[in-house]
DNA sequence: AAATAACTTGCGGTTTTGTGCAGGAATTTA
DNA sequence: TAAATTCCTGCACAAAACCGCAAGTTATTT
């Protein structure tokens, strides 16, 4: 069999089945795996497929939609994400909500981190998927089109079955007296469940949302262990929260 | 044998078999391989064939196996998607797998359709979310980074709790004797569960995958109610499936 | 008809290409 | 963390391609 012919066959298989294994092709075509690897490498160099450990994937298959990164208060959120990422240790189970701050957190994760992230937010999960070593658990249920997360009783039941080490809440409003509040009934239910299922609750928010209010109550501030904003931890705006016993970063 | 005559013979062989070897031609015609090579070079310069290491390939060969355009069989999949979309009626619950064909289906849904789509495929769910009026249920579990779907026992348990009207399977290989087969263990489990949870099972595939085989068995063809390809339903390739009692569209 | 020029072909020697194999590194899996 | 795959690199060897040349053929000119 000619080399070009073989490569054409490989490409055909990749496009047909979206995925091929070097070992499988080696058996089918009766050449060494080294030869297959070299073929895959050449085809990958030509952009005809994507070489991965163990074989290759078709190009059309692996293309995914990347969430845009023109977000509100982008720089502030990056600072917050950095602080939050430092809290995560190898082996932890981490519950997260959705929201742009959480997306930044996903991007700020150190590449060698080995943890398990659990979320019902589709944009967040897309980000987590790009990370090389973390595991991703997706909470399933009905998809809310505007918030792009799964909501409902099934989602809450799934969260209840989890005992997470950490919970990162991207929050919309926090106030020393009224606690954390939000404006979407379904999202509130989810956040409540997440708080209950985590040993440590970390709230992420830009300073603008400090001391603000939303219609629906999620939980009081005594349920919060850590609060992260882009401000230095000794900023006077945060003093009431420090005084309330919350770790402020 | 004259040079022109020889080249005509070579060209004839190339068009007949799509491939020739320099060594083989040398033996057949009884001239040195150098002469054959020179002939092939000239014919290649005239654009009559494609010279490769060891021999030559016909032009049609590379045309067939090197689809340089964007998505493989994109047009075919659009045709399939149109046929599949016609099966969905308002109020239906529809289970779907992932895969490029299913993505096309999502894009082909009529804008006023009011149905509920259930899937564990993240790319598919992203497409469904763009639709104005359908409800989307996301199957949750561990996310498989390769296939971009949720897999595992929890996902299967969620599927089992559903009684769907329709199930659209984007399949990787189908054969009259071995049924539908695939190459990913987790995906196979999911597809099995989906088949069990739906009243009507519809398989979508491009004709190239008809009569092909993958390592892992999903189910026999008697579990399939409808098969959709880009071919007209009376194509002879599909006759065995029609004879087996499958509705072919 | 002879001479010459242009073309074709085969051959020896060299260069390039393709393939498998051995080992050690890297990655995945249990 | 350990074991098992898979990958990569360099190497050896064989097959193919290339190059130049010389001998043979064919076509053209004198």
Q: What is the CA A111 to C1' D21 distance in angstroms? A: 63
Mean pLDDT of B206-215: 86
Closest CA to A98 of A183, A170, A50, A167: A170
- Contact B137/A140, CB-based, under 8 Å? yes
pLDDT tens digits, one per residue of B89-135: 999 999 999 888 999 899 999 989 999 999 999 989 999 998 889 99
| Helix, strand, coil content of chain A in percent (nearest 5) | 40, 25, 35
Lowest mean pLDDT among A209-218, B64-73, B162-171, B192-201: B64-73
Token pair 């790009």: residue: A130
User: Residue A15 has which token pair?
Assistant: 């496009």
- Residue/partner pairs of B241-247 with CB below 8 Å, 24 or more apart: B241/B176, B244/B176, B246/B221
Residue-level pLDDT at B69: 46
Q: For B3-65, CATH number?
A: 1.10.10.10
Q: Which nucleotides on chain D have any atom < 7 A from a protein Cβ?
A: 5-10, 15-20
Residue-level pLDDT at B68: 44
- Contact B122/A64, CB-based, under 8 Å? yes
Contacts of A46 in chain B (CB under 8 A): none
The residue ranges of every structural domain in chain A are 3-62, 74-248
User: Residue B71 has which token pair?
Assistant: 């998505």
The three-class DSSP label of residue B174 is strand
Q: For A74-248, CATH number?
A: 3.40.50.10470
User: Residue B87 has which token pair?
Assistant: 């099966």
Q: For A3-62, CATH number?
A: 1.10.10.10
- Contact A122/B99, CB-based, under 8 Å? no
Residue-level pLDDT at A234: 86
Residue-level pLDDT at B77: 87
- Contact B100/A60, CB-based, under 8 Å? yes
Give the predicted TM-score (pTM) of the model.
0.79
Residue B119 to residue A122: CA distance in whole angstroms: 13
| Protein residue nearest nucleotide C10, by CA to C1' | B32
The C-alpha of A148 sits at a distance from chain B's nearest C-alpha, in angstroms, of 8
Contacts of A65 in chain B (CB under 8 A): 123, 126
**What is the spatial order of strands in the sheet that B198-204 belongs to?**
A149-151, A141-144, B135-138, B116-119, B93-96, B164-170, B198-204, B226-228, B247-248
- A81: which residues sit within 8 A by CB, 6+ positions away? A101, A104, A105, A107, A108, A204
Q: What is the CA B7 to C1' D27 distance in angstroms? A: 21
Q: Is residue B53's beta carbon less than 7 angstroms from any atom in nucleic acid strand C? A: yes
Residue B21 to residue B82: CA distance in whole angstroms: 44
Q: Which of residues 187-216 of B touch strand C (CB under 7 A)?
A: none
Report the percentage of chain B scoring pLDDT > 90.
Answer: 45
Q: Is residue A37's beta carbon less than 7 angstroms from any atom in nucleic acid strand C? A: no
Q: With beta carbons less than 8 A apart as the criterion, state whether A166 and A200 touch.
A: yes
CB-to-strand D contacts below 7 angstroms: A 21-23, 33-34, 37, 41, 52-55; B 21-23, 33-34, 37, 41, 52-55
User: Residue B26 has which token pair?
Assistant: 């040398």
Q: How much is the mean pLDDT over chain B?
A: 88
Residue B95 to residue B165: CA distance in whole angstroms: 8
Q: Which residues pair with A92 in a beta bridge?
A: none
* Residue B64: pLDDT over 70: no
* Number of Cβ within a 10 Å radius of residue A140: 26
Closest CA to B88 of B242, B226, B245: B226
- With CA of B36 and C1' of each nucleotide, the nearest comes out as C9
The stretches in chain A having pLDDT less than 50 are 67
Total CB pairs under 8 A between chain A and B: 127
């Amino acid at each position: 069999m000619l080399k070009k012919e073989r490569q054409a066959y490989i490409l055909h298989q990749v496009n047909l089945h979206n995925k091929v294994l070097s070992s499988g092709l080696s058996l089918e075509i009766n050449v060494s795996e080294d030869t297959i690897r070299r073929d895959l490498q050449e085809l990958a160099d030509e952009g005809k497929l994507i070489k991965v450990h163990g074989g290759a994937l078709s190009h059309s298959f692996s293309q995914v939609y990347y969430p845009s990164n023109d977000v509100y208060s982008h720089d502030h959120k990056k600072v917050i994400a950095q602080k939050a990422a430092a809290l995560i240790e190898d082996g932890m189970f981490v519950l997260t909500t959705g929201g742009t701050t959480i997306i930044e957190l996903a991007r700020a994760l150190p590449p060698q981190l080995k943890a398990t992230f659990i979320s019902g937010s589709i944009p967040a999960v897309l980000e987590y998927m790009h990370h090389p070593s973390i595991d991703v658990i997706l909470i399933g249920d009905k998809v809310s089109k505007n918030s792009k997360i799964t909501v409902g009783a099934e989602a809450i039941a799934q969260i209840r079955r989890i005992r997470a080490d950490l919970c990162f809440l991207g929050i919309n409003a926090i106030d020393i007296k009224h606690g954390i509040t939000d404006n979407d009934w379904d999202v509130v239910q989810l956040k409540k469940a997440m708080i209950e299922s985590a040993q440590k609750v970390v709230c992420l928010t830009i300073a603008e949302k400090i001391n603000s209010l939303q219609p629906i109550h999620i939980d009081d501030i005594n349920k919060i262990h850590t609060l992260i904003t882009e401000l230095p931890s000794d900023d006077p705006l945060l003093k009431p929260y420090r005084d309330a016993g919350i770790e402020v970063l």
